[in-house]
């Protein structure tokens, strides 16, 4: 027993009730089901109800993850919410989630790395577990992107959806080998020179209002496959593992073409790729835990499986994490 690892004890997710299909979007902007499906693979997405906030989605996902772990809110000493759509400018959505769950010990904070938020959060929490700062954490990705979309801009409003996913991770002493359960390796990157390729044109310090999402889709696409493959290769080098060793590839669900191209580049069997974007769209920081929950619940991801997570998002930020379930 030589190393503390963050081991996943439970996973859960939540999707708002309202479903917006591509056909629904054709009534709002000049688009077609055919264009959206061909370019992205997306057919539908969920939208939060008026009065339903990011913290509400996060709490529902957290409760499901706690139930899956067989744990109570009082067992948690760290709450981290990865989100780019917080309830308020401050305090953090994580503190609101903490209060709604009735947790009064430990600490809580948000992570802002847009679509890479869940990978950033898991990696940061792991470092804090190793440093002895926390023992059991809720790591949540939760977003209400519907609130920052420009619903007159067909190039962006068709891509995103609302939702939340959560995992409970616990610090456990482990042997320090690739056979351990938990986070085995992770690598994070950012390059702020590209901040204006995917950003929101508002904020407390600039315009004083939340603003709307703006994106140069082609620029994002161009960098995505190269950046994602780069961080995954780092993990393969660190661990000595290869694409053939991966049981499940759980990518951030932005675009089917990005996912397929990344999988091909890394030699990952398409049958091992977990896809949820068809019914959920791009839920930013929520997409990886939503996909994890789907694959655990339908019996694909089982204890002992090796799972590769990867994401890229605004900033640009990107990263990958290798987890043994
Ligand atoms: N419906 C119909 N036509 C559209 C739509 C739409 N919803 N949106 C754009 N078009 C039109 C454009 O106006 C353009 O028309 P024009 O040729 O007459 O000017 C044409 O379609 C082609 O537009 P492009 O932007 O060049 O289309 P592209 O093939 O690049 O696809 C897309 C756009 C899907 C956004 C693609 O660039 C992409 O997926 N980029 C990655 C962006 C992404 O996934 N971002 C998510 C966050 S980052 C991440 O998570 C990785």
pLDDT of residue 1: 61
Is 3.40.47.10 the CATH classification of the domain at 3-174? Answer: yes
87-138, pLDDT tens digit by residue?
A: 999 999 999 999 999 999 999 999 999 999 999 999 999 999 999 999 999 9
166-193, pLDDT tens digit by residue?
A: 999 999 999 999 999 999 999 999 999 9
- Model-wide pTM > 0.95: yes
**Confidence at 267, pLDDT banded by 50, 70, 90:** confident
- Cβ proximity of 322 and 184 under 8 Å: yes
- Count of other CB atoms within 10 angstroms of residue 137: 29
Give me the phi and psi of 97, to 5 degrees please.
-65, -45
Domain ranges of the chain: 3-174, 182-324
Closest-CA residue, ligand 1 atom 30, reads 218
Spacing, Cα 205 to ligand 1 middle (Å): 30
Give the mean pLDDT of 203-207: 98
12-59, pLDDT tens digit by residue?
A: 999 999 999 999 999 999 999 999 999 999 999 999 999 999 999 999
Spacing, Cα 59 to ligand 1 middle (Å): 33
Measure Cα distances from 251 to 24, 212, 271, 311, 318 in Å: 27, 25, 13, 6, 11
Torsion of CA 317, 318, 323, 325, to 10 degrees: 80
Closest-CA residue, ligand 1 atom 36, reads 217
Same fold, 3-174 and 182-324: yes
User: Catalytic residue positions?
Assistant: 115, 252, 282
Give me the phi and psi of 61, to 5 degrees please.
-65, -40
Give the mean pLDDT of 282-294: 98
**Percent residues over pLDDT 70 in the chain:** 100
* Architecture of the domain delimited by 182-324: 3-Layer(aba) Sandwich (3.40)
Residue ranges around ligand 1 (CB below 6 Å): 31, 35-36, 39-40, 115, 154-155, 158-159, 198, 215, 217-218, 220-221, 224, 252, 254-255, 258, 282, 312-313
Spacing, Cα 321 to ligand 1 middle (Å): 28
Spacing, Cα 155 to ligand 1 middle (Å): 5
């Amino acid at each position: 027993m030589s190393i503390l690892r963050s081991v996943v004890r439970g996973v859960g997710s939540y999707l708002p009730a309202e479903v917006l299909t591509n056909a629904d979007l054709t009534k709002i902007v000049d688009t077609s089901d055919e264009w959206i499906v061909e370019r992205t693979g997306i057919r539908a997405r969920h939208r939060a109800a008026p009065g339903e906030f990011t913290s509400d989605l996060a709490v529902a996902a957290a409760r499901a993850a706690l139930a899956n772990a067989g744990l109570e809110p009082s067992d948690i000493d760290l709450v981290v919410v990865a989100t780019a759509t917080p309830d308020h400018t401050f305090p953090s959505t994580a503190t609101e989630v903490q209060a709604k769950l009735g947790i009064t010990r430990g600490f809580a904070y948000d992570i802002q790395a847009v679509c890479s938020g869940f990978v950033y959060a898991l990696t940061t929490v792991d470092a804090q577990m190793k440093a002895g700062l926390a023992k059991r954490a809720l790591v949540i990705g939760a977003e209400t992107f519907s609130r920052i979309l420009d619903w007159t801009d067909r190039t962006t409003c068709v891509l995103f959806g609302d939702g939340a996913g959560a995992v409970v991770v616990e610090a456990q002493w482990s042997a320090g080998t690739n056979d351990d359960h938990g986070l085995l390796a992770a690598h994070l990157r950012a390059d702020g020179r590209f901040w204006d390729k995917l950003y929101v044109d508002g904020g407390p310090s600039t315009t004083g209002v939340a603003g709307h999402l703006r994106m140069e889709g082609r620029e994002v696409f161009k960098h995505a496959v190269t950046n994602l493959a780069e961080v995954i290769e780092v993990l393969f080098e660190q661990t000595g593992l290869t694409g053939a060793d991966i049981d499940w590839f759980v990518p951030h669900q932005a675009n089917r073409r990005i996912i397929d191209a990344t999988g091909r580049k890394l030699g990952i069997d398409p049958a091992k790729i977990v896809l949820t974007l068809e019914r959920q769209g791009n839920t930013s920081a929520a997409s990886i835990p939503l996909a994890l929950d789907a694959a655990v619940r339908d019996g694909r991801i089982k204890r002992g499986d090796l799972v590769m997570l990867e994401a890229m998002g605004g900033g640009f930020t990107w990263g990958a994490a290798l987890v043994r379930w």
